[in-house]
Each structure stands twice: as C-alpha cells, then as structure tokens.
Amino acid sequence: MSWRTTRATAQDEQGSRQVAVIDLGSNSWRLVVFSYGAGPWWKRTDELYETVRIGAGLARTGELSTLAMERGLETLAVFERFCRAGRIEPQDIHPVATSAIRDASNGPAFLVEAERVSGVTIEVLSAEDEAHFGYVAAVNTTTLENGAVLDLGGGSLQLTEVHGRRAAASASFPLGAVRLTEELLSADRPAKKKELSRVRAHAREALDSLPWLAGAGERLVGMGGAVRNLAAAAQAAAGDGLDLGVQGFVITPEVLANLVEQLAELNPAERGSVAGVKPGRGDIVLAAALVLETVVEAGGFAGLEVTEAGLREGL
C-alpha cells in the first residue's frame, strides 16, 4: 500500500474541512483526501494507493474473481481505518466504482459485501458520469477550449468532445488497458507484430463509430494512470528527469510510436522496469500505449497533452 501525504490536515488549517474521494478503478484503487476552506482554495493532502486489479479476468468470465474481490475488501478495510483515524465524517467520504464493478455480473453482490466492510455506500458511476467527471477535471486543470478529453482506465476508455470549454458529446468504449491486455496480448513474452496490429485494429474499429472524433480539433487532453506513466517514460527517455511532473507534457505521435516499439520488445514482467513506468502497470502499459496511439491517429491530433488530474479531482 502506497501512502503519499503532505500532512496538511484540517487541524493544520484553521476553518478547513476534509473530503475523501475513493476511486475504485479497474486496475488501481485510490483514497484521496482534499482539504478546503471557506475561500476558493482546495488542495490534495493525503493519498493511499493500491494496485487491486479488480478487473482481472473479467473479460474472460464476466465476473469479478474471488481473489480480486478479496484484494478489494482488504483495501477497503484499510481505507476505512484511515478515514476513521483521520476523523473524516462519513458524509464527507465519497466512494465511486467504475467499469469493472459496473460491468461484472457479480458486481452488485460485491458492493453489498464492500459496504459491510467499509461502512459506506459505494456509488457505481455510469459511463456517462465517468466521462463527465474526467472532463470537469481536464477543463479545470488545463487551458483546453476546443478539442477532446481522453480518460483511459483499466476497463474502459472515455472520450469527450469539448467546444468553448463545454462538453458537447461523450462516448465510452471497452478499451481499457487491463481488458485489452488479457484479451489480445501475451502474458509471458514480447508482443508480436500481429498482436500489435490486432490491438490497433480492435481499437480503430470501436473508434470508427465516433463521428465527431476526426473533427474535434488538434488538441487532446489525456488522463489516467497509464497516461501519466507513459508521459513519465517519455520524459525519462528524453533525459528530462522524473521529478518535473507530467502536467502539461505533450506526448507526440513519434514519441508514442517509440514507446510502443520499446515496450513491445520486452516481456510483460520487464516493462515495469522502464523508467517512469510503475511496476504495477508494467504488464498493461503496452496496451494503453496502443490505444492512445490509435486515438491520436484516428482524431488527427497533434499529440496527447497530459493532465495529472483525474476522476477524483473532477468529483
């Protein structure tokens, strides 16, 4: 369990209050604490992170596996204890689940058990709501006026068309990094060219149903753990270091192509050793890069501009 904190709690800032957002994604789960006051400011003050991989095996069986659910319940128990120790009121804890739990046939049963363990009711976001909160995060952390927002997770891909900073249309596709890795890529050897072509073709076929994508403009803002990892890997490859952050970094089509080539030559277990890529994402990062490459090409975008914000900030 990773714990990143600046320890600026509600007790440290007079009149401030804490809100916890729990994001139960298909790959990683996060509890993020935001502190805010009566004025216009807010800041992230604590974060817990765990690679739960709740969506493991879902593409094959349609269900959450027993082991994945056990990992999830253990993580929720830790989250609950953390919130209790921090004296965060139950009404200020906002847990949300995304595509894996939304799509699983046993998702409702898992939510009942999760509420018993954590004491809070988990809201399952619709695909539309998931896209909306990503859009809200993107337009409030970038200067995006016209273009598109991309949110890539473990189970799904959300795309939102933006005009005049307003969301004009959105769509969700089952093109998440965990899902495509399990469906289309080898788990124990470097990727073959035909596998890369198969992932690209699968993603392109899905995106062909989106009539506005090619006319959205040149600017694409992306978010999600894999997006941030790929941006960090691009920075490291360019010799920029990993301490700069990736906010505003643009991954060009050429850089994406180089990353795909580099990652494809490695075994899945080795990809997490690439500078900038977290070990918990190593096996799925190639699928993510292929999806991003396909979106950039299909939309004719100049590149992918990264925001470090995401669903949690949107909420």
Q: How many CB atoms lie within 10 A of CB 215?
A: 9
**What is the pLDDT confidence band of residue 37, given thresholds at 50, 70 and 90?**
confident
- pLDDT value of residue 40: 78
* Amino acid 239: pLDDT: 87
What mean pLDDT value characterizes the chain?
93
Side by side, the strands of the sheet bearing 157-163 are: 166-173, 157-163, 147-152, 220-223, 304-306, 250-251
Q: Residue 11's pLDDT is what?
A: 43
pLDDT digits (tens, 9 = 90+) for 57-104: 999 999 999 999 999 999 999 999 999 999 999 999 999 999 999 999
Q: Which two tokens stand for residue 73?
A: 């319940």
pTM of the model: 0.91
CB 93 within 8 A of CB 133: no
Among 7-11, 109-113, 120-124, 286-290, whose mean pLDDT is lowest? Answer: 7-11
Which pLDDT score is estimated for 120? 87
Closest alpha carbon to 222 in 185, 253, 247: 247
What's the pLDDT at 180? 97
Token pair for 245: 């952050």
Position 24 pLDDT exceeds 90: yes
What's the Cα-to-Cα distance from 222 to each of 67, 238, 285, 303, rounded to whole Å? 31, 20, 15, 10
4 pLDDT higher than 60: no
Q: Is 38 helix (H, G, I), strand (E, B) or coil?
A: coil
CB atoms within 10 A of CB 2: 12
More confidently predicted of 32 and 240: 32
**Is the confidence at residue 302, as pLDDT, over 50?**
yes
pLDDT per position as a tens digit, 155-203: 999 999 999 999 999 999 999 999 999 999 999 999 999 999 999 999 9
Measured CA to CA, the distance from residue 315 to residue 306 in angstroms comes to: 19
pLDDT of residue 68: 97
pLDDT over 90 (residue 8): no
- From CA 172, how far away is CA 21, in angstroms rounded? 22
- Using CA atoms of 191, 197, 199, 203 in order, give the dihedral in degrees to the nearest 10: 160
pLDDT value at residue 41: 83
Looking at the chain, how many residues does it have?
315
